[in-house]
Structures are given as structure tokens and as C-alpha cells.
Amino acid sequence: MAVPLVDSYGRIHRDLRISVTDRCNFRCTYCMPAEGMTWQPRDELLSFEEISRVASLMVERFGVDNIRLTGGEPTVRAQLPRLVSMLAELPVDLALTTNGATLALVAEDLARAGLRRINVSCDSLRRERFAEITKRDSLDKVLDGIDAALTAGLAPVKLNVVVMRGVNEDELVDFADYGRRTGVVVRFIEFMPLDAQEQWTARQVVTYDEIVARIGSVYPLEEVARGSAPAERFRYADGGGEIGVIASVTRSFCSTCDRVRLTADGQFRTCLFATDDHDLRGALRGGASDDELAAIVSSAVAGKWAGHGIGQVHFIRPNRSMSQIGG
């Protein structure tokens, strides 16, 4: 029988985020430097079998019931549908986060392999701005990927938008229009201090209140109750769908967070902003038993902090960029 994975604050952790690669086909400045990124050697990344073993352990020992595959960009990992089919055998809600650039090529294969849901990251609907943010002229490919995901039945499709002052905050209503037109659930994310350039400032954050007010002035919104999910949800009063706002900076949800993370190189992390790693790769390749792996996980979660403290004097940035941690 599974024993819930509980930290010292009483939070039960049921959501596992697995990064399958640190590589990406974009160069978003808040995720990685435009030049000079050093990719991890292939043999330092967990194999599909190693990922599957950790995932199975988390489900069977600790009752994890949500698994999300991330990167870097997960679709650049060769034979990704094979990993999906391995994880789809577990009794979990299996999802994936992607930038969508190659999604049109693999959406059907991923759905056939057992993927249930998908999140696509896209920070502009304007071609030139999109290219400036990502260093790639690929907006049409991303939008085609979203269409392919909808056709493949990967529902709901959610669109993640990192809102940055002076960059794309003037597109809030454009994104709302896109979601209402396509049925995609748009989730607006406050800009967090995880940029590879380490130039984040609070001034760049377009806040929860601003986002809700801007969209609500055009399309009246009704709040929907939120559980442990990171997004505060709102439905359109006219029935035109819903949006979400992930306010990691101004309305921290640390007290209800139920997520833990496994990096592509096999490090277990208890928070997106964790400053320490717990080495599962070394244990896996050193012949550790399931009991020994479980002990590493339990000890790590038992020591999880209360929250990241963004904006407070004691806040410490993690020593990895977003592409190395996983979304």
C-alpha cells in the first residue's frame, strides 16, 4: 500500500515533474543564454528504463498520481513515444509540456502511446516578437502543433504564457481571444527569477491583479475554486471558456504545492527554486534497491522548505536555469 509523501509542513506530494532532456530548439532569454549553452553528455542523462523505474517507485511507494514530462524541450529526445508508452502503464494522469515547434510531427504518436494532456509554451502571437523572444521564426509551427494536439485528442490543451513587462503584456487580450476561438485554456504566468541572464527584477513582473483586471475589463470573469493546482482559474461569464493565472511571485501557492521534480541527469528536487539536489542517478547506477531509493526521496521531502521567498531578503536563486530544471 502506498504511503503518502508528506513533508514537515503536512503537504502531501502527488505530482512528479520529469525532465527528459536539457536540450532545446529555442533560445528563450529567460530560460537559457542565446549562446554558449553546454549540453549534458548523453550518458549523463537518465535512460528511459531509469526514468520508468523512478516513476514506478513514486507511484507504488508514495501514491503519486500525476506525471508531467518536461525539458528543455522533451520532443527533441529521441523515441519519446516509447517513454510515454512505458509511463502510460502506470495509474497516473500523464501529461507533457512542450514549446510546440515539432509537436505537429509527433502529436498523434504521443496520443497513441498513451499521453493524455499537453501544455504548450508560447509567449507571443506576433511573428516578429515571437522570433525575438525565442531566436527562432517558428510561430506558425507552434500554432500548427497546437492544432495537431487538438486533432489528436490531447485535451485539454493548455497554453502557457510568461507575461513580461515591456515585452508582451500588450497581448493579454489577444491571447484571451485566441483561447476563446480555439478552445485552448490559456494560462498566464508571472515572470519568475529563473532567467539564464540573472537580470530578473520585480519591475518586470506583470502581476496577477493586472492580468485579471486587463482581461476582465474586456471579458468579465468568474473565479473558480482552486485546489493544489498552481493556477488560479477563471471562467468567462459568457461561457466562452476559461483562463488561469499562475502567480508564483505575488500570490505564492507554496503552502498547497504538491510537486517534486526529477531532472534529466537524475537529480531529485523538492521545489522549482530548490538550492540543493539529491542524487538518484548515482544511486540507480550504483545498484541501489527500491528501499534505498525511497529513503533518498523521503529524506529530501522531509527537509523541504516552507517556500521560495521570492522578493524577500533571504531569497536565493537556484543554481540551474529553467532548461536544466524542467518546467
Q: What mean pLDDT comes out for the span 164-178?
A: 97
- At 32 the pLDDT is 63
CB 294 within 8 A of CB 285: no
- At 31 the pLDDT is 67
- At 276 the pLDDT is 86
Longest dimension (CA), the chain: 58
Residue 138 carries which side chain, given as an amino acid letter? S
* Whether the predicted pLDDT of 211 surpasses 90: yes
Q: Dump pLDDT digits (tens) for 39-56.
A: 789 999 999 999 999 999
Mean of pLDDT over the chain: 91
DSSP 269-299: ESSTT-S--EEHHHHHHTT--HHHHHHHHHH
Q: Dump pLDDT digits (tens) for 54-94.
A: 999 999 999 999 999 999 899 999 999 999 999 999 999 99
Check residue 192 and report its DSSP letter. -
30 band by pLDDT with thresholds 50, 70 and 90: low
Q: What mean pLDDT comes out for the span 316-320?
A: 58
- At 34 the pLDDT is 55
- At 161 the pLDDT is 98
Q: Dump pLDDT digits (tens) for 277-309.
A: 999 999 999 999 999 999 999 999 999 888 655
CB 290 within 8 A of CB 57: yes
For the beta sheet containing 259-262, the strands, ordered from the edge strand earlier in sequence to the opposite edge, are 221-224, 232-236, 242-246, 185-190, 157-163, 117-121, 93-98, 66-70, 15-19, 259-262, 267-269, 278-279
* 17-26, 106-115, 158-167, 236-245, range with the lowest pLDDT: 17-26
- At 327 the pLDDT is 59
| Helix ranges, the chain (H) | 48-62, 80-87, 103-113, 127-134, 139-151, 172-182, 208-216, 280-285, 290-302, 322-325
- At 195 the pLDDT is 55
* Whether the predicted pLDDT of 256 surpasses 90: no
313 band by pLDDT with thresholds 50, 70 and 90: very low
| Cα dihedral across residues 47, 52, 55, 56: positive or negative | negative
CATH 3.20.20.70 fits 5-158+256-325, yes or no: yes
Q: What mean pLDDT comes out for the span 310-318?
A: 53
* 101-115, 266-280, 291-305, range with the lowest pLDDT: 266-280
| 176 or 26, which is more confident | 176
* Whether the predicted pLDDT of 36 surpasses 60: no
What share of the chain in percent tops pLDDT 70? 88
Q: What mean pLDDT comes out for the span 317-321?
A: 58
CB 269 within 8 A of CB 277: yes
